Structure 1
Amino acid sequence: MTHSSTNAAVRRAARRGTLLLLLAGAVADAQKPLPAASTTLIRNATILTVTKGTLRNADLLMEHGKIARIGTHLRAPAGATIVDGTGKYVMPGIIDPHSHSMIDAVNEGTLSVTSMVNIEDVLNPTSPAIYRELAGGVTTINVLHGSANTIGGQTITVKLKWGEPVDSMIFPGALPGIKFALGENVTRKDNPPPAGQERRYPFTRMGQEEVLRDAFTRAQNYRAEWAAYHAAVARGAKDLVPPRRDLALDPLVQVLEGKRIVNVHSYRADEILMMVNLARDFGFHVLIQHGLEAYKIASEIAAAGDGVSTFEDSWGYKIEAEDAIPYNVAILMRHGVVVTINSDDDGRARRLNVDAAKEMRYGGLTEDEALRTITYNGAVQLGVQNRVGSLEVGKDADVAIWDADPLSVYAKVDQTYIDGEKFFDRQQDLARRDSLVALKAELEKAPENQPPAQGRGRIVPPTTGGSK
């Protein structure tokens, strides 16, 4: 390629980049958070508080990011935005305790223990899943590392503040977490290693237990070493060399100290019971993720004070899921276990209200009990029940307005608020779709976006540092 043709290619690439930026900017402008209103009053709606019953023809005032008042005939403060809630249903924002949304990577599966990695480092605030889940009334998600290894990466709880930087999405004050996994995903018995590569340990469930016990034994010793060092410094000792920092053990020490939530991917009753007993031995609690056979040991889970986050009716996709039943949630709840329904899927996350409604059919849950499985119970599991999960004065104004009872398959979300700021509005979304279609058509006609002439390949500009 000549110097002049190279420059021409670079100019064409720059024009293409400009067009892409124009489209990205237009989409961002169309879907960015709507202008914040410091005060919003929803009037004359059916308010599903979840924890304090259902209020008919009631009002809810959001002010300074909090729920300021709930009642009837509330007076709107000066400058407040008024939302007519006649015929509408207002409920807390949905909480999804098991999500892999808005991430650019899910598994660091090269080692059996990867507690040093953090899912926060790969959060993607531009993921379309954020906006789509807002359209399903979801406001908070527990973003998990995958289940490729016995001890996986660190996890994070976020609020779906579409259009804002990642730092603004991280739930302030929420405990961080970590992902563990048991069973087939770890042993990989149906996925042999490539020729010449050794199989990764562990290959059995007993090996998984050994990995866990070894890791927490090392974490206990590591914590003791640091405690002894700090004690010596407090006594005035000089010229001490601190213990070597271990980035993999630091999060496990936080687990031992109750400062990090353990999310455990597990299906079978026997491995769940093993995990519950192991956690008891080391003095921490676990949140069982999936837990499709948890109903078999509901009493044991309740006695341990552990939680379960499961599917409503997703099963049969592998041997571990063979004994799943639709009554799992109801049985666990009746035994006193704090249980939730989760998505583990971007698409399912938009329909968690329907999954909750199925529990009224399978197990006879009341409306409030069904709603708890996608709101308040999730807040309890993530340690943020004083902030979200129910509609109560003083809590964060994370609210979804529905056009019908949210436990109906026909219900749709009209508006979704987080901290009193509106991040989704169905009518405005519908109104701007035609303009986006027109913009897309215009950009597709641009010369720079046409396919290359027959017989000529696409010209790719050279990368920095040389050309090939």
Structure 2
Amino acid sequence: GKIHKIAKNIKPGNARVIDAAGLYVLPGIIDAHSHIAIDAVNEATNPVTAEVWVGDALDPYDISIYRALAGGVTISHAMHGSANAIGGQCETIKHRWGVTDPDDLRMDGAPRTIKFALGENPIRVHGEGKDVVPNTRMGVEQVFRHSFSKAREYMIGWEKFRNGHSKTAPQYSLRLETLADILKGDIIIHCHSYRADEILMLMNVLKDYGVNKICFQHVNEGFKVAPELAAFGAHASVFSDWWAYKFEVYYSTAYNAAILTRNGVVTSINSDSGELIRHLYHEAAKAQKYGGLTDEQTLALITLNPAIQLGIDDRVGSIEEGKDADIAIFKNHPLSIYAINQYTIVDGEIRFNIHEDEEDQRIDINPEETIPAFYEATEAHDHEAEGCMQGVYEFLFEHKH
């Protein structure tokens, strides 16, 4: 399913025709930070678990895929959690709802990615939870340096063996193979981050090891170091206005996306949520409301820019001939509060149609009953439990170490 031609009065042949008169057609929305289509997201058994891969545990039956389609989202970046300083490899998936083989969710040819994490999460899980490094932010930095140094030694050892300068090959390690691929530039780092000082720290570490492919996730204090991020070539995937759910996230601004964008940082807005993923077009609109971004800049936050961050912008993120036919069709302007997605098309196939799925989407409810329940759910909401730290506390407190 590719976009073959863009023109007026094209003869459709055997293709299905959608009457989109008066509607808005845009590229399929892309979520650069998601945990849908996977179960447990944290292999929280070691500060470094680069060898594990989310792609080994995809769940095509996760109803969140269908719900994401209802919001016009065609692709998500299914990520390992943030319990470890160096977590597992992630998977870029297409929302092909209805397939039963996990392999059919994978976006073939998408670059490899891996999850890193700064700050409280790896410190709490490993230092406080298991009394191992890292127990401080200094320790997190040393986990990175130690791991990269071991990977570099591993690469040198294999090079000497292959060149005949050593008779003994290094012992094969899937973990070190993965870390070596980061040093080679074959894997893009996506790093859980909040504080500006830690963001600068990791960029300094990466400079020392010649690594330049990184997208900082959350990056709540990115606005403080926007010029430095741009100079490094780092990307940023942020929340629109979500912070203060734990101490290290107490400081941010709804102007974050706009400030980063105006400083030349490739910026996206993500969900990190199986619920918020359905509303990414509203989340992007907040950046326009607060930061005054143009329609094009704002829509790029959820289309082209996340595609660039995932290394798939040659195939998706914009409507162009030759690109994948991933399209969302909206009633009302997609940045309007009245926007409602009508159709979501993935690889040229309609995966969501509000008219055919009407009974699923239009439940008869009483607002007077649901509004109090909404506020109750909001008060009880725990971002950490839903997103990057799924399953970690059960692991820490229900198991003996």
TM-score, normalised to structure 2's length?
A: 0.87
Q: 1:432 to 1:183 in 2, by over 3 A?
A: closer
Tell me the equivalent position of 2:49: 114
Matches within 5 A, 1:232-381: 232=164, 240-285=167-212, 286-381=214-309
Task: Write the distance in 2 (CA, Å) between the matches of 1:283 and 1:101.
Answer: 32
Q: Which runs of 5+ in 2 are unaligned?
A: 363-401
1:306-353 deviations in whole A, cap 9, x for unaligned?
101010000111111111001111111111100100000011100000
Tell me the equivalent position of 2:74: 139
Task: Write the distance in 2 (CA, Å) between the matches of 1:241 and 1:429.
Answer: 62
Task: Write the distance in 2 (CA, Å) between the matches of 1:249 and 1:170.
Answer: 24
The aligned amino acid for 1:380 is I
How far 1:232 moved relative to its partner?
A: 2.4
Matches within 5 A, 1:26-37: none
Task: Write the distance in 1 (CA, Å) between the matches of 2:345 and 2:360.
Answer: 20
Tell me the equivalent position of 1:462: none
Q: 1:433 to 1:135 in 2, by over 3 A?
A: closer
Q: Secondary structure at the match of 1:67?
A: coil
Tell me the equivalent position of 1:87: 22
Tell me the equivalent position of 1:214: 146
How far 1:191 moved relative to its partner?
A: 9.4
Tell me the equivalent position of 1:149: 84
Alignment partner of 1:169 is 2:81: no
Task: Write the distance in 2 (CA, Å) between the matches of 1:352 and 1:431.
Answer: 23
Tell me the equivalent position of 1:182: 118
Tell me the equivalent position of 2:334: 406
Asked if structure 2 preserves the Cα contact closer than 8 Å seen for 1:137 and 1:413, the reply is: yes
The aligned amino acid for 1:222 is Y
Task: Write the distance in 1 (CA, Å) between the matches of 2:25 and 2:361.
Answer: 26
1:263-301 deviations in whole A, cap 9, x for unaligned?
110100000000111111111121100000011011111
Tell me the equivalent position of 2:371: none
Asked if structure 1 preserves the Cα contact closer than 8 Å seen for 2:127 and 2:134, the reply is: no
TM-score, normalised to structure 1's length?
A: 0.75
Q: Which has the larger radius of gyration?
A: 1
How far 1:427 moved relative to its partner?
A: 1.0
1:222-247 deviations in whole A, cap 9, x for unaligned?
011112222229xxx9xx54321111
Task: Write the distance in 1 (CA, Å) between the matches of 2:35 and 2:223.
Answer: 25
The aligned amino acid for 1:208 is V
Task: Write the distance in 2 (CA, Å) between the matches of 1:251 and 1:391.
Answer: 34
Tell me the equivalent position of 2:382: none
Task: Write the distance in 2 (CA, Å) between the matches of 1:75 and 1:431.
Answer: 33
The aligned amino acid for 1:304 is F
Q: Secondary structure at the match of 2:163?
A: helix
How far 1:74 moved relative to its partner?
A: 2.3
How far 1:432 moved relative to its partner?
A: 7.0
Q: 1:190 to 1:105 in 2, by over 3 A?
A: closer
Q: Secondary structure at the match of 2:49?
A: coil
Q: Secondary structure at the match of 1:220?
A: helix
The aligned amino acid for 1:70 is I
How far 1:192 moved relative to its partner?
A: 4.6
Task: Write the distance in 2 (CA, Å) between the matches of 1:359 and 1:177.
Answer: 26
How far 1:200 moved relative to its partner?
A: 2.8
Q: Secondary structure at the match of 1:171?
A: coil
Q: What is the total number of aligned residue pairs between the two structures?
A: 360
Q: RMSD of aligned C-alpha atoms?
A: 1.8
Asked if structure 1 preserves the Cα contact closer than 8 Å seen for 2:47 and 2:126, the reply is: no
Task: Write the distance in 2 (CA, Å) between the matches of 1:223 and 1:384.
Answer: 28
Q: 1:227 to 1:71 in 2, by over 3 A?
A: same
How far 1:182 moved relative to its partner?
A: 0.7
Tell me the equivalent position of 1:73: 9
The aligned amino acid for 1:142 is H
Asked if structure 2 preserves the Cα contact closer than 8 Å seen for 1:111 and 1:200, the reply is: no
Q: 1:202 to 1:432 in 2, by over 3 A?
A: closer
1:63-110 deviations in whole A, cap 9, x for unaligned?
xx111122222222x222111111111110001000011111110112
Task: Write the distance in 2 (CA, Å) between the matches of 1:404 and 1:367.
Answer: 14
Task: Write the distance in 2 (CA, Å) between the matches of 1:220 and 1:130.
Answer: 39
Tell me the equivalent position of 1:203: 135
